[in-house]
Each structure stands twice: as C-alpha cells, then as structure tokens.
Amino acid sequence: MQATFPFGQAADLRSVRDSLIPVFGRIRDEQRLDPVSQFVRSFIASRTYDRTSWNAFLQLTGRYRDWDALADAPVDEIEAELAGITFPEKKAPDLKLALRKIRVRAGEINLDFLADQPVEQGLFWLEQIHGVGRKIAAATLNFSTLRERAFVVDTHVLRVMRRFGFVKPHADEIAVFDCVMAAADGFSADDLYELHWYLKGLGQKFCTHSRALCESCPFSNICVKRVESALHSGYAA
C-alpha cells in the first residue's frame, strides 16, 4: 500500500511546514551567530540537549577571548569547559584540531569567505575537516549569518523523514539532505531554516525515539509508519 502523502515537490514541503504552524507557532528568526561561532556551537551540540550545548558554548566564549585562544588552549582545559555535554573527551581534541585546521586552510579562523562560494563547495570545504559531517556543515551555512540554502538534518529530522516514508527506512542524513534539497526548489534559506525547526519539533514532541505518538501526531493520516502499523494491527486481529 502506498502512502497517501505525495512527497517530491516543493508544494509538499510547504504543506508540511504550513501544517505545523498551528502546532508550534511561527518560528522566529533568532539573532544569528557568525559562521565560526555557529560552527563551534554545532560541533559541540551533537547528541546533546540544546540547553546543555548552549551553556557549554557560553562557557567557551566566556573563557577564551577569541577562537584562536581556544585553538591554542590545552585539551584538558577545553574538556573541562565542555563538562555536561556528551563525549567531551572526544569533542575537546576534535574541536581544537578543527579550529587549527580552519586557521591553516583559510589563513585565519574565519569562515566569512564561504559566502562567496556555491553551497556545494562550502559543504565540501567544511566536510574536509575531521569530525565535520553534513549536519555541522549545513548548520554552519544555514543557521549562521551566512544564511545559505542548506537543509540541516539532525537525529530528530532523520527519524521523522524515515517514518514518513520520505526516504528509505535506513537512509542516512545525506540521503535526506539530497531529497529535501531536490524537492525544495523555490525554498529560500529561511524557508529551509523554518522547515528544519518544525520537523525537529515534530520529532521531539510526537515522533519520539522511544515511541511514535501516532494517535496525536498532526500527520498520522499521511505517515507510512501509521499506515503500516494500522495494517499490522488489522492482520493481528
């Protein structure tokens, strides 16, 4: 049985976004970080609650006068500032190395030059840095003051898109990124920013890791997982 939700066109993505406005309200564009600050923020945020990663980010900005000072700081000192986030013992040396690599490749710890490059080239440049995947690269381009057209796929968005049937059940973040970007013709960078936060909210509130709350999800009637669950229940009956 095919899902009734016709993904694959920009109008469908707009329907998703517009349908979630009554659920979550308008997503206001908060004050954006400069590209390097957003890079650091995204680098330490993986598998960590937003509030915790923000606190760690503020710890870093309060401790170090600039990103060069962080890049030159002892690893154990950086790790202490990252206490509370997941895997600080790994992220501390990786972050230090990442900033130093930016400094070597760009001549300084500054990513403003990415504004003059095509998005694909910016993603490629960032992903050459150890520890940087598509999520960090896309967030650096889209969430920062660069405001580039790059869709950010975190664990919540990935889970939602798999369960909806937008991508295959075991598709990775690159597959979701590619599918969304292909379907988002006409979407601005701000449209993609908003779509990310709506899908993330859906994953946090309804389509959770431990349980898909299909009975209360605003998209339960068009979701592949809900259709499959209903069919399996029918067979069991």
Q: Pick the closest to residue 150 from 196, 202, 199, 99 (CA basis).
A: 196
Q: What does the pLDDT read at residue 28?
A: 75
Q: What does the pLDDT read at residue 228?
A: 60
Residue 23 in this model has a pLDDT that exceeds 50? yes
Q: What does the pLDDT read at residue 16?
A: 82
pLDDT in tens, 212-228: 888 888 877 777 766 56
Mark out the alpha helices in 25-133 (DSSP H runs).
35-45, 50-63, 67-71, 75-81, 88-106, 119-127
Q: What does the pLDDT read at residue 145?
A: 96
Burial per residue of 58-96, b for 16 or more beta-carbon CB atoms within 10 angstroms, e otherwise: ebbbeebeebeebbebeeeebbebbeebeebeebbebbb
pLDDT in tens, 174-196: 999 999 999 998 899 999 999 99
CA atoms within 13 A on the CB side of 137: 21
Mean pLDDT over 39-67 rounds to 94
Residue 32 in this model has a pLDDT that exceeds 50? yes
Please provide residue 164's backbone torsions phi and psi, each rounded to the nearest 5 degrees.
-65, -30
Residue 94 in this model has a pLDDT that exceeds 60? yes
> Residue 99 has which token pair?
């900033």
pTM of the model: 0.89
At residue 153, what is the residue type? V
Residue 86 in this model has a pLDDT that exceeds 50? yes
Residue 4 in this model has a pLDDT that exceeds 80? no
Residue 147 in this model has a pLDDT that exceeds 50? yes
Q: What are the chain's domains?
A: 10-28+154-233 (1.10.1670.10), 35-142 (1.10.340.30)
Q: Pick the closest to residue 140 from 131, 128, 155, 151 (CA basis).
A: 151
Mean pLDDT estimate for the chain: 89
Residue 98 in this model has a pLDDT that exceeds 70? yes
pLDDT in tens, 99-141: 999 999 999 999 999 999 999 999 999 999 999 999 999 999 9
Mean pLDDT over 142-156 rounds to 97
